Amino acid sequence: MSATITTASILILFYLAFASQVFLVSVFYPRQIAARMHYMLDHFPPSEFPKLYPGAGPDFVGATKARIGMYLGVNYAIAAFGGVALVAVVLGFHGMTVGGSKAMAAVYFIIQVMPFIYLSVVEMRRYKAMREAYSASRMRSANLSPRRLGNYIAPGYVALAVVLYVAWVVFYLSGKGPMSQWGEEVTLTLPLITFMNIMYVFVVRGFISGRRLDPLASPADQHRAIEVVVKSVVISSIGVSLFLIGVDAVDRFDLRELGAVLTSLYMQACMVMGVGMTLRRITPETMNFDVYRADNVSTAG
């Protein structure tokens, strides 16, 4: 009976976690992003801030607002799909909880982030158009102070990321036996997670010392944008290590049903530390929009 109660409790935890995932990723953050875009278009229109919207046509505002509506519609449809899937699981598919619900949370999250990836691609194209329109020779930065990792994140967080990665490797391999017994899972997982952390290093290095995404951003805005990326990446590395340790622990101690709950909560944490941090730290109220005015000859960079 106690095992039944435990399983039922874990099922309820998963239902709550998945419902939260549906709302947070496909309703809450899309609404915040849409509201932010509407605010930008209404308060900083292309007619007054043309450098913010390179190549904007006469109907740019109307067309963009229509696309924002479509963006919300797609997210709401994904949320509805998630709600239907959750109801189906609650009513008739309890047997999939051990492995299926874990995959369900992960696969559904991949679907959820597709609209966010689309927005990222659109944003990258806008930055590319800005760099092409405003060359480095015209927008040379007046702030030539060197940029270092410590300017954007406390060294303790970086050290914690390294320590937790090593801790995961030790904990993970401690349950796999001698090297001669390592199977395909180990030979794939270990290089993959190591490669991911190496790529994190290159991402951070690129943002700190590479070319600027926005050639017109003021030094303060640029610093804030880099800070958000660096913190998101380092915290992501910390989160990945903790998540992997947690997943391995529940498998090792025969608590596999908890894996689905951990997976859903981890996906939500990724959104909070990525999209959420960006929305909190980079706001229209903190940005300098004068550099995007038509008559502005800026040297910000």
More confident residue, 179 or 72: 72
Q: Which amino acid is at 78?
A: I
Q: Percentage of the chain surpassing pLDDT 70?
A: 89
Q: What is the mean pLDDT of residues 274-278?
A: 92
Q: What is the mean pLDDT of residues 60-73?
A: 95
What is the pLDDT, as a whole number, of residue 143?
Answer: 53
Encode pLDDT of 224-245 as tens digits: 999 999 999 999 999 999 999 9
Residue 264 backbone zone (phi > 0: left; psi -120 to 50: alpha; other: beta): alpha
Encode pLDDT of 180-221 as tens digits: 778 888 888 899 999 999 999 999 998 888 777 888 888 899
Does position 85 have pLDDT exceeding 60, yes or no?
yes
pLDDT, the chain, mean: 86
Does position 300 have pLDDT exceeding 50, yes or no?
no
Q: What span, in angstroms and rounded, lies between the C-alpha atoms of 254 and 250?
A: 6
Does position 11 have pLDDT exceeding 90, yes or no?
no
pTM: 0.84
Encode pLDDT of 237-267 as tens digits: 999 999 999 988 888 877 777 888 899 999 9
Encode pLDDT of 154-175 as tens digits: 999 999 999 999 999 999 998 8
In terms of C-beta density within 10 A (0-12 exposed, 13-18 middle, 19 or more buried), how is residue 15 classed? middle
What is the pLDDT, as a whole number, of residue 277?
Answer: 92
What is the pLDDT, as a whole number, of residue 100?
Answer: 62
What is the pLDDT, as a whole number, of residue 56?
Answer: 84
Please count the residues of the chain: 301
Q: Percentage of the chain surpassing pLDDT 90?
A: 54
Q: Which of 22-26, 186-190, 268-272 has the lowest mean pLDDT?
A: 186-190
What is the pLDDT, as a whole number, of residue 207?
Answer: 87
What is the pLDDT, as a whole number, of residue 258?
Answer: 83
| Alpha helical stretches, state H, the chain | 2-23, 29-43, 60-92, 100-133, 155-174, 184-209, 219-252, 258-271, 277-281
What is the pLDDT, as a whole number, of residue 214?
Answer: 86
What is the pLDDT, as a whole number, of residue 72?
Answer: 97
More confident residue, 125 or 100: 125
Centroid of chain to Cα 191: 22
What is the pLDDT, as a whole number, of residue 164?
Answer: 96
Q: What is the mean pLDDT of residues 36-53?
A: 93
Q: Encode burial over 16-35: b for 16+ CB neighbours within 10 A, e otherwise.
A: ebbeebbebbbbbbbeebbe
Does position 97 have pLDDT exceeding 90, yes or no?
no
Are 126 and 54 contacting, i.e. CB atoms less than 8 angstroms apart?
Answer: yes
Per mean pLDDT, which of 73-77, 105-109, 153-157, 293-297 is the most reliable?
73-77
Domain residue ranges of the chain, discontinuous segments joined by +? 2-292
Does position 301 have pLDDT exceeding 50, yes or no?
no
Are 215 and 134 contacting, i.e. CB atoms less than 8 angstroms apart?
Answer: yes
